Structure 1
Amino acid sequence: MIDRVIQEKAARTMVAINAAIRNMRLYPITSTATINSVDKALQSIDHILETEKSLAFAESEKNLLIFGQPLSEKEQQKPQVVAFLDLLLNFSIKNLSFQRGMLRDEFITFLELLIARPEEISQKGGLKSLIAEKRLSHIIIDEKVFVSMDEDQKIASKDEKKLDIEETFAPMVNTLDTVLDYESKDKVSRHLATSMAKKDEQVLGTVLTQKTEGELGEKLFSHIIEALDDEKFERLIFKVRQMFDDAQKNANKSEDAQLIRHAYQNMLKSEKGEQLQTRIRERKAQEKTQKQEYKTKLLAGINSLIKGEKSAFQDKELMQTLPATVTQMFSKGQERIVEVISDRLCEGLNIKVAAVRADVANALASCLEKFPEQFRQDTITRLMPKLIHWISRKTSLTPAVEKIVRYLMEKAKELIKNNQFVQSEQILKAFHSVRYGKSQREENFRDFAGKMLETIADNDITDHLLKEFRFNQENKREQASRTMVFLAEYAADPLLNLLKDSQHRSERARILQLISDIGPAALPALSQRIEEGKPWFFMRNLVLLFGKVGNESHLDIVKPFLSFDDYRVQREVLNCIYSIGGNQRESIFSAILSDAGDQLKADAVGMLGAMECRTAVPMMIQILETKTLMTSKARNELEEKICNALGNLMAQEAIPCLVGVSEPKKGVLSKRNYSEKVQLAAHRALEKIRAGKVKGR
């Protein structure tokens, strides 16, 4: 059984829902009264759904059930309960539940259905069908449920009721009228009226529209009406009116319609009926006055906004009303005024107060949503610089930001397709800044900006950009290139495809430069492609790009290619390590002196020398002194570079070795024979070391 506290909260929620429906019937959806009552009802529902999966109401035998449990007889008689039950009955709703996760828009759409006339809903396929059509997935009606109750909670069915009103009431009254005297008739009538007044409007409507004859029937009619309070009488009047409308539609119930019409007219002629009509007239007059005051206030607010008065932005109700207002303006051909309002709202995005700025952003985003397609596109074009500036300063993703960013994304695609690359670059630059910039932004905002860049860079857009990049047909190659830079990682993959297939050196050079300009954003694509392996020239270019846009963390990706089967790739790996290797360069290059071939060793020696790495001197000396059975061009180049490096490093410990190289012993007893170029390099190294030693003294 549901907790009593939860059931009481649900009952209060029902009252809040009633109030929201009432205000939506009386006032515009954008009015403060309506907005506040809707928000209050939604908050009440959400509060229950924090602990419960759903909030369930049901109707059983003209009784209201909350969470499958009936209210007490006393609670069933409360006006709020009766009104809510009438709502369920009018729409033939057996059960209704609100599910966890319901959005505000879903709730409002559902309430808008409930304020319509039941017959209108029926003509459109019924409430359940409309709920499915509008995708109100968190609002369920007439779902089969099974309710378990204690014996003392059971609700009597029609078969268990003591009276069948339609069959017994009128004959009973007519019979009593013939057997009772005048005084008895009055007493019996008042007694019956007191009892009947406690019944719900459905029962009372059935009673009062029965065909009775004689004085008792007239007295009972009047006494029942006298016994009702004003609220219940008003609900009864509307119930009887509905019964009349329903009977009129049924050709077989024309006689019933006349009886109901007669009862309805007599109720209106009664004292309570006249009082009700007076109240209705006063209420309508009040509503008319309120609507006029509201309209006057709204017009004043719009005029204030058009004049550029900042106080207009602080009018929360005005901001919430604007989307509906501009829709009406379009129907009246007032597009020019809408343009001015759009411009003013865009200016309001710079208001210093964050809460006011948020209201303005929501108003602008909602207004744009209401605009006709072409008018919206023209507005986005006109406001684009200011919107871009606003987006660039935002740090979090709100519904308003999301809507406006999507509109800008569509505009960027349109501009690119029309070869307006410079204009599109403004939007892409803002998205790029959000996605990759150093300013602090919420992660979901960065992710969303990335998603927008990815959406822009679809196949049609990238093909269009690559075509101009390759063939320069519109003489806008540089502009197309910058556009791809701001598309970042989402342009990198198509560019790498082109790099792999390109047959022109100049084109490959342009691609390499473009990917370098994209920067670290291209690294995911590079990491994926380098795993594919050959051809060698593509691998060399990938390694080259790692050297330009990578960092020390990418060494593990490129180091394995030191053993690639093409020296040109190996050489590029050394260059890459030299560029991004940081403190690891010395150990990597030193290891190469032990393991690699002479050609790669020579390159490593040159880089160690450029790095002034003195720890590599002993290994260089060892290589220089190592006896080889035969010389080669690569070996001679290695030895020459070692001599040069030792000289540059002022390696005094290498003097004996360099002397042996520069002045080798003749004959078969000599350890090594060195080429003339190596000997000359050793001689120059000795001169440099000795000169440095003298200078040092």
Structure 2
Amino acid sequence: MEDIKQKALDALIIMNTAIKNLRLYPSTSAKIINAIEKLHRTFLDMLEKKESLIFEKSEKNVLLCGEALSQAGQEKWQVTALLKILLDFGIKNIIFNKGLEKEELNSFMEILSKRPENMKDESDLSRIMKGRNISHITLDKKVEVPGKIDKQVLSPLNVTDDKIIQFLMRLNPKSADDPRKLQEMTNKPDFLLQTFQSGLSEIMTQKENLSKLQISESMVNMITLLDKLAASFEKKDQDKISQQIGTSIAAMDPDIVQQLKAQKIEHLFGGTLAKYLARETIQDKAVKPLTSSAGAPVKTKSPEPVVLQQKPDPQSQIIQLKEKLRALPKDDQKPFLDAPMMSALPKLFEQLNAQKEHEAMAIIISRLIGNMFSNDPDVRLQASTALAEIFEGLTRERQDKLITRLSTRLLDWIKIEPLATLAYKKICNNLKDLIHDFILQGRFAEAIPILDVFSNISAGIMEKNDKAYEICLDIIRELASEEHLTILFEAFSTNNPDKQVESGGILVRLGDGSMNRLLDILRDKVDSDERVRIMNLFIGMGRRALPVVRDRISKVAPWYYLRNLAYILGHIGNESSAGALQPLLSHENKRLRLEALKSIYKTGGNERAHILLSVLPFADDQFKLNIIETIGNAKCVEAVPELVKMLKKRKAIASALRTNLEEKICAALGSIGSPEALPILLKITKSNFFLSIRRYSEKVKITAGLAVVSIRKKQEEVAEALDEVEVAS
């Protein structure tokens, strides 16, 4: 079954790709033909083992024949995007039957590539499918999967289907190996109440780490699970469960109770839970019997009869919302709506949209964005949750337009938001979907600023917590799909300079895989302009590109390619990467050696002296001069003893070469400015002969004299600086 599940995920991803491409390319294009061919082969492989494949959406899971697909797979943006398309068409399940023809599959993908708003109703879809002779694909047929325990998801607690079963098994360990007995236990009211109490305890142990809104959301999801398990109970048993749950909740922190009442709980247990909860909380506020100091009862007024408030109708809520919006003070960082109104806001926003209340919609979005930058984490969570739900309620086209307009502010929030909440992940994924659409539409320049933030976080350039890092890393992995890379490399290979730069800007931000492919092009290209363009892309990426370039420079490759890599490292490298350039200093190609030397000088920092001195004894005579000059320019004090030793030993070499070498050493010692070099330099300037040493040339003596002047000047400057410090102190 696991093999089929993986193939099913592959099929969903290919379906999404085919649908997206059909919106951009004709059905006769190679992209479409190849996608349909691959999709058909995938279905045929699965249908060899099963008579039919049933895909359906259950709460937050995608099921194949009643079995949940892997959580990681379900969270892929392609799967999420496909589910959005299906839900827009009102499709709840799809059945692919044995005998499926490629033409049927192609026709079905063409239908799904149309905009659902062009369909009058759901019957249009069935009529069109019938007209296209699609007989092996069935939609929205009621299916029964025998022998399966109903599984749900408690998303705020990150509880997957398997964890729910484990959660139930913990309550009765004796049934851990007997799923049938466990299923029987879920039919007992007392067991469900015990489950609620255990779940409540589990939630409250996290109280210090969760906001009150998160606690209330967790509880609603748990109660929703119990409601589904109790759906077959008699009404008296359902009432008993909802009453005891309501009593337990009413005893909690009033703020949590208020947040919970603002959630969508009216439908739970047939509405009885909301009634019990309202009655319990109102009774808590009723006047309690008082006693005198002697213990005698004191007469008090009887409490007013409890009147349960009716839920306001949507239109009255809209009127109330508009009144509140008009009364809002500017730049107020507090929540601009109470919890019940905030909970209803996404639905109200949809109605405002339908009524074309654009001014009210603009105010809501503006205030939510403002509240996302509040210092209060609860205010930020409330605002970001509402905004994420508003995005979900929009069509993809409207969603893209709104998120594009808000992208700058959303990115600012992503950069500074310290909590990686569910809303944070949703909004990040909204922006990821926008990048996806931009790539498909060739709007590369618009994708780069958004992608840049995710790239910075995933590369560790921008510090975030582990959860935010994982979210951004997953986004980069998903965007680096073969579909996207094909589009981007095709654009990069065109003769359009703008498209080359823009597509390249995306490619270097899509992680190691795409950067390595670009470096392969750099290695194989003959045209120098193209090589320069690629090098500039990597230089523009800064230290994000450093690990990939450093890894490639350590491999055997043509000298001109290694020279390009050395040039890149000279712009983006640092002390830690300078060591990767050291082997190139011994390369047979002179131009490569000089490029590596230049890059070490620019980026080597405190490592320069160690690297350069290690290769100096083995360098040829001409390259020795280059190394010594670089040591002097870098002012490597650590190199002074070795340079002084070279002046004293004076190896037997040709006089012209010796003169050049000694002249370079003296100049380097003058640049470094260390007093340690003064004795040997003074001897060179003042005497024509040492006792047993050959004579120094006039050029060397002049250079040594200049070095002495330079060193003494530096000593005077240091002395003056010290005097000024003493006077000031």
> TM-score by structure 1 length?
0.53
Is 1:54 the counterpart of 2:170? The answer is: yes
The residue number in structure 2 matching 1:653 is 680
**Contact 1:306–1:344 under 8 Å retained in 2:** no
Equivalent residue runs for 1:70-469 within 5 Å: 107=222, 110=225, 113=228, 290-293=309-312, 298-304=317-323, 307=326, 309=328, 313-325=336-348, 339-340=361-362, 341-342=364-365, 344-432=367-455, 434-435=457-458, 441-462=464-485, 464=487
The residue number in structure 2 matching 1:240 is none
Letter in 2 for 1:524: P
Letter in 2 for 1:302: L
The residue number in structure 2 matching 1:492 is 515
The residue number in structure 1 matching 2:703 is 685
**Contact 1:313–1:360 under 8 Å retained in 2:** no
**Contact 2:352–2:358 under 8 Å retained in 1:** no
**Contact 2:388–2:423 under 8 Å retained in 1:** yes
Equivalent residues, number? 463
Secondary structure of 2:419's counterpart equals coil
Match of 2:550 among 486, 506, 527: 527
**Contact 1:485–1:514 under 8 Å retained in 2:** yes
Q: CA 1:539–1:53 in 2, change beyond 3 Å: closer, same or farther?
A: farther
Q: Distance in 1 between matches of 2:221 and 2:462?
A: 36
**Contact 2:508–2:537 under 8 Å retained in 1:** yes
Q: CA 1:114–1:354 in 2, change beyond 3 Å: closer, same or farther?
A: same
Secondary structure of 1:381's counterpart equals helix
The gaps in structure 1 that reach 5 residues or longer are 1-37, 60-64, 86-96, 119-200, 203-230, 236-282
Task: Tell me the CA shift for residue 486 of structure 1.
Answer: 5.7
Secondary structure of 2:556's counterpart equals coil
Q: Distance in 1 between matches of 2:375 and 2:584?
A: 56
Letter in 2 for 1:384: S
**Contact 1:453–1:490 under 8 Å retained in 2:** no
Secondary structure of 2:545's counterpart equals helix
Q: CA 1:417–1:291 in 2, change beyond 3 Å: closer, same or farther?
A: same
**Contact 1:314–1:356 under 8 Å retained in 2:** no
1:135-190 deviation digits (Å, cap 9, x = unpaired) = xxxxxxxxxxxxxxxxxxxxxxxxxxxxxxxxxxxxxxxxxxxxxxxxxxxxxxxx
**Contact 2:659–2:697 under 8 Å retained in 1:** no
**Contact 1:58–1:68 under 8 Å retained in 2:** no
The residue number in structure 2 matching 1:581 is 604
Is 1:626 the counterpart of 2:623? The answer is: no
Secondary structure of 1:599's counterpart equals helix
Q: Distance in 2 between matches of 1:482 and 1:356?
A: 36
Higher helix share: 1
Q: For the aligned residues, what is the CA RMSD?
A: 5.6
Q: CA 1:308–1:408 in 2, change beyond 3 Å: closer, same or farther?
A: farther
Task: Tell me the CA shift for residue 605 of structure 1.
Answer: 1.3
Secondary structure of 1:54's counterpart equals helix
Q: CA 1:412–1:644 in 2, change beyond 3 Å: closer, same or farther?
A: same
The residue number in structure 1 matching 2:582 is 559
Q: Distance in 1 between matches of 2:491 and 2:158?
A: 54
Task: Tell me the CA shift for residue 393 of structure 1.
Answer: 2.7
Q: Distance in 1 between matches of 2:470 and 2:164?
A: 33
Q: Distance in 1 between matches of 2:615 and 2:489?
A: 41
1:462-513 deviation digits (Å, cap 9, x = unpaired) = 5655666665616465555655666576753343222212212233233323
Q: CA 1:574–1:483 in 2, change beyond 3 Å: closer, same or farther?
A: same
1:607-644 deviation digits (Å, cap 9, x = unpaired) = 22224443233233146x2113x68x977754553354
Q: Distance in 1 between matches of 2:526 and 2:568?
A: 19
Letter in 2 for 1:402: K
Match of 1:609 among 632, 649, 656: 632
Q: Distance in 1 between matches of 2:642 and 2:518?
A: 40
**Contact 1:547–1:577 under 8 Å retained in 2:** yes
Q: CA 1:334–1:117 in 2, change beyond 3 Å: closer, same or farther?
A: farther
Q: Distance in 2 between matches of 1:295 and 1:468?
A: 49
Q: CA 1:48–1:539 in 2, change beyond 3 Å: closer, same or farther?
A: closer
Q: Distance in 2 between matches of 1:516 and 1:40?
A: 42
